[in-house]
């Protein structure tokens, strides 16, 4: 059987259920990554980080006698030119945009007599492990409590030691030339190294809950989100190594809080799955009508906010960090979103799209879910609005962060 494995945000070899399925019963295996619209429109930091991740995967595949096809158009465009496959495999998406792509390929396969299979592996807990129907998902705390009352995540699946040979010669119709993103190494091996450093090397995991809101020191937070977003680290691998660290070193509130953040990631996956296209609508999943700032004034605000020139220095410092580096702390993300949507009442989707363009750890469900949450159209039951001056006082009392980016 000749198999095509369509990679998206599962750019790894370890704990890859899709890759194992693609290997099974295959005489030949080809792996392809297609540039979607979101990546084509990405800023330099996000694009460079993604390309660096692909380069790392290409090297790993080369060690197994394989290669990665790179295609600048859609997967459907590729298939119309290369139809000599018996089946197509991909990792199942949790958002309506990705699911629409899958439906299109499923239709093509049906018309052309090909098999099409999707594999569930993006969250820590798989869909079959949910202890309730997806339609009953509402807010995070009930979700967390029900998940924690059940069995833990599944074990990682084995890493293949060899892969079937490719059918097609290597095809690369977009160039991976890129600059490494400062401070953020990319790819599977770098993900292993970062995780091991944060756990056993620095043991920063033991103080994560106290330091996670820090905005300058690299070890203040795990910095695992770029690896998780592109799938170069499996959330199950992170979980099981964290449990090993707790068994060998110690377990405390901070180590639990790392797991807690993985649950937030899962929550937004399932939240996106439940709400489909509503996640990308102005009224949001809550279907809430708000009085948003109109076009002319919004455009004036946009220039100031996106470039970090609002005059609110805590917001401006965070927005300049994002624009310059492709990174922003979680604390910063909540504050700038609150400013955009709840202080000047601008269309929250513009903010979510700006993050999509800039962030090296852009993850569709987490990004849009968090923006909906912070904008009053998502799953926040308390509809919080941040006191920005108070936030700056709490998290940048000596102004060291603001001084760093507002020079």
Same domain for 266 and 315: no
Q: Which of 275, 292, 314 is the last residue of a domain?
A: 275
- Please report the pLDDT score of residue 318 as a whole number: 98
Same domain for 98 and 14: yes
Q: How many domains does the chain have?
A: 3
Q: Which of 227, 256, 275 is the last residue of a domain?
A: 275
Mean pLDDT by 10 residues, the chain (407 residues): 98 98 97 96 98 98 96 96 96 98 98 98 97 95 97 96 94 90 97 98 98 96 98 98 98 98 98 98 96 87 96 98 98 98 96 98 98 96 94 97 95
- Please report the pLDDT score of residue 173 as a whole number: 86
Same domain for 270 and 247: yes
- Please report the pLDDT score of residue 297 as a whole number: 84
* Residue written as token pair 């649950």: 263
Same domain for 400 and 287: yes
Q: Closest by alpha carbon to 376, among 285, 272, 299?
A: 285
Q: Which of 107, 122, 137 is the last residue of a domain?
A: 122
d(C-alpha 369, C-alpha 383), whole Å: 14
Please check whether residue 180 lies inside any domain of the structure.
no
Whole-structure pTM value? 0.97
Same domain for 298 and 265: no
- Please report the pLDDT score of residue 302 as a whole number: 96
Residues 270 and 364: beta-carbon distance below 8 Å: no
* Residue written as token pair 């400062």: 182
CATH number at residue 355: 1.10.579.10
Tokens of 168: 């097609």
Please check whether residue 98 lies inside any domain of the structure.
yes
Please check whether residue 130 lies inside any domain of the structure.
no
Same domain for 385 and 320: yes
d(C-alpha 156, C-alpha 137), whole Å: 26
**Domain assignment of residue 242, given as a range:** 188-275
Q: Closest by alpha carbon to 51, among 170, 145, 181, 190?
A: 181
Same domain for 285 and 229: no
Same domain for 314 and 247: no
Please check whether residue 181 lies inside any domain of the structure.
no
Please check whether residue 169 lies inside any domain of the structure.
no
- Please report the pLDDT score of residue 295 as a whole number: 82
Same domain for 110 and 213: no
CATH number at residue 245: 1.25.40.80
CATH number at residue 75: 3.40.50.620
Same domain for 228 and 310: no
Please check whether residue 382 lies inside any domain of the structure.
yes
**Which strands, in side-by-side order, build the sheet including 28-34?**
68-71, 28-34, 2-7, 87-91, 115-119
């Amino acid at each position: 059987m000749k198999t095509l494995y369509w990679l998206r945000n599962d750019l790894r070899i370890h704990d890859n259920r899709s890759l194992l399925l693609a290997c099974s019963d295959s005489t030949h295996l080809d792996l392809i990554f297609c540039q979607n619209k979101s990546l084509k429109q990405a800023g330099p930091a996000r694009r460079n980080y993604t390309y660096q991740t692909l380069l790392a995967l290409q090297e790993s595949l080369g060690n197994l006698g394989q290669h990665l096809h790179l295609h600048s158009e859609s997967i459907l465009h590729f298939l119309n030119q290369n139809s000599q496959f018996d089946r197509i495999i991909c990792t199942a998406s949790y958002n309506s945009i990705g699911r629409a792509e899958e439906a299109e390929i499923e239709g093509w396969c049906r018309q052309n007599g090909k098999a099409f299979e999707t594999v569930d592996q993006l969250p820590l807990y798989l869909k079959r492990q949910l202890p309730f129907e997806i339609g009953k998902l509402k807010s995070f705390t009930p979700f967390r409590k029900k998940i924690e009352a059940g069995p833990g995540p599944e074990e990682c699946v084995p890493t293949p030691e060899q892969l079937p040979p490719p059918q097609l010669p290597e095809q690369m119709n977009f160039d991976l030339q890129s600059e490494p993103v400062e401070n953020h190494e990319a790819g599977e091996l770098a993900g292993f190294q970062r995780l091991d450093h944060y756990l056993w090397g620095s043991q920063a995991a033991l103080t994560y809950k106290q330091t996670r809101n820090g905005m300058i020191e690299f070890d203040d937070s795990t910095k695992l989100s770029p690896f998780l977003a592109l799938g170069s680290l499996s959330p199950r691998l992170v979980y099981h190594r964290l449990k090993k660290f707790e068994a060998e070193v110690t377990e405390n509130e901070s180590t639990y809080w790392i797991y807690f953040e993985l649950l937030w990631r899962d929550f937004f996956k399932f939240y996106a799955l439940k709400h489909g296209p509503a996640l990308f609508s102005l009224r949001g999943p809550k279907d809430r009508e708000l009085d948003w700032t109109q076009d002319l004034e919004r455009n004036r605000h946009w220039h100031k906010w996106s470039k970090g020139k609002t005059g609110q220095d805590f917001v401006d410092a965070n927005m300049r960090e994002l624009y310059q580096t492709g990174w922003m702390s979680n604390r910063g993300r909540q504050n700038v979103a609150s400013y955009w949507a709840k202080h000047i009442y601008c269309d929250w989707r513009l903010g979510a799209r700006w993050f999509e363009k800039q962030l090296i750890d852009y993850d569709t469900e987490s990004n849009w879910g968090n923006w909906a949450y912070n904008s009053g159209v998502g799953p926040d039951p308390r509809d919080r609005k941040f006191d920005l001056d108070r936030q700056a006082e709490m998290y940048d009392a000596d102004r060291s962060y603001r001084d760093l980016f507002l020079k």
